[in-house]
Amino acid sequence: MSNSKWFANDGKCDVCGRETKIVVCASTMGPVSLAYCKDCLENRAEPYSIMTAYIACAGKWPDDISPEYQARVRRLLAFHKKTEAEFSKDVADLYDEDMYD
């Protein structure tokens, strides 16, 4: 993302939480717009909470998730410094909530 004029607004990045220049874009994990700093946008990062909710809505991790999205999630887990076991538990916790009753 070499065009720094896009990052003209001061704000808080929804992914990493830094107060910096941000741009608001559509998330790749659901119909929502989020604020991204330059680093997070360049890394195509998403907030961890959005990732867990998006995957939980799609089904059980990883069995119900396409190989392409599994690869994307695994890449983002490294970005967030989370293990797959942590992610699996967090998704299962959401999946087991009453939102599916």
Show me where the domains of the chain are located: 1-46, 47-101
Q: Which residues contact 45 (CB under 8 A, 6 or more apart)?
A: 15, 16, 36, 39, 76, 79, 80
The 8 Å CB, 24+ separation contacts for 6-14 are 7/37, 7/38, 11/35, 13/37, 13/40, 14/47
Give, for all 101 residues of the chain, the pLDDT tens digit: 445 677 889 999 999 999 999 999 999 998 999 999 999 999 999 999 999 999 999 988 999 999 999 999 999 999 999 999 999 999 999 876 555 55
User: How much is the pTM?
Assistant: 0.84
